[in-house]
Amino acid sequence: MNRLLSIVTILFCAFSIAQNPIEMTISDFDTIKVFDLVTVNLVKSSENKIIISGKDADDVEYVQKNGLLKVRMRSEKTFDGTKTFVHVYYKELDIIDANEGARVLSNELIEQDRLEIKVQEGAMVTAGLTVKNLDVRAVTGGIVRLSGQVEDQILVVNTGGKVENEKLKSDYSKVKVQAGGEVEIFATQSVDINVRAGGDVVVYGNPKDVKKKTLFGGRIKIVDND
C-alpha cells in the first residue's frame, strides 16, 4: 500500500511539473520564425523572454542567431505543436515569419514605424497594428488577418495565400496577386493592383486613385461604401 501511494505521488508530481510553465530569458532579436503548428503570442516588453506552456512544453526548442529567434518543436515532435503555447516577450520586432501551420498573434496593438510579415504552409498571423510601412507576403495557404491603421502597405500574395486586411485602414496600398491568392484591403487614397494567373482582390474605403491590371484571369472588385 505504501509503495502504491509512493508511485502515485511520484506520478502526480511529475504531471504537475510537466504542467508548470517554462520561462527563459533570451538575448535581443528583431526577427521571429515559428514552425510546427506552435501557437505564439507576442507581447511588447522591456525584456526579451519566452514562457512555454501546454502538453508538450518540454519539447519546444528555440534557436537564436544574428538577431533571429526560431521557435519550433524538437525533431521527434515535428508538426506536433497544436497543444503547445508560447508567449514571446520582445523589445523590438521587425519581421514576423510563420511557417508549417504555426499561429502567431498579438493580443495588444503593435505600434512602430515598420513591420514585415511572412506566412506560408498554412500558417496564420493575426494582429492589430499602428505602423507607417507594412510589407506582407502570403503564399502556399498562409493567412494574414490584420486590423488597425497603416500609412502604406505592400502585399504579395500567391499560391493560395490570403490577406484579410479589410479592417486595416491604409492610405496607400500596392497589391500583387497570382496563382489563386485572395486579398481584402481598405484604402482611402490610392491602390495599385496587379493580378496574374487567377486571384481575387476586394477593395474597401473608396480610394481616390485606383490603378488595376489583370492578366490571365483574376478579379478586382472596388466596393462603394457610400
Domain limits of the chain?
24-107, 109-226
CATH fold of 24-107 reads Pectate Lyase C-like (2.160.20)
Confidence at residue 144, expressed as pLDDT on a 0 to 100 scale: 99
Estimate to the nearest angstrom the gap between the alpha carbon of 149 and the chain centroid. Answer: 17
Domains 24-107 and 109-226 share a fold: yes
Residues 6+ apart with CB under 8 A from 202: 166, 183, 184, 185, 221, 223
Ordered per-residue pLDDT tens for the chain, 226 residues: 444 334 333 433 444 344 579 999 999 999 999 999 999 999 999 999 999 998 888 999 999 999 999 999 988 766 677 788 999 999 999 999 999 999 999 999 999 999 999 999 999 999 999 999 999 999 999 999 999 999 999 999 999 999 999 999 999 999 999 999 999 999 999 999 999 998 999 999 999 999 999 998 889 999 987 6
What pLDDT was estimated at residue 8? Answer: 35
Architecture of domain 109-226: 3 Solenoid (2.160)
CA neighbor of 33 nearest in space, from 88, 71, 65? 71
CB neighbour list of residue 88: distance below 8 Å, 6 or more residues apart: 32, 40, 41, 42, 43, 49, 50, 69, 71
Q: Does the reported pTM lie above 0.85?
A: yes
Query: What is the model's pLDDT at position 56?
Result: 86
Separation CA 28–CA 40 (nearest Å): 17
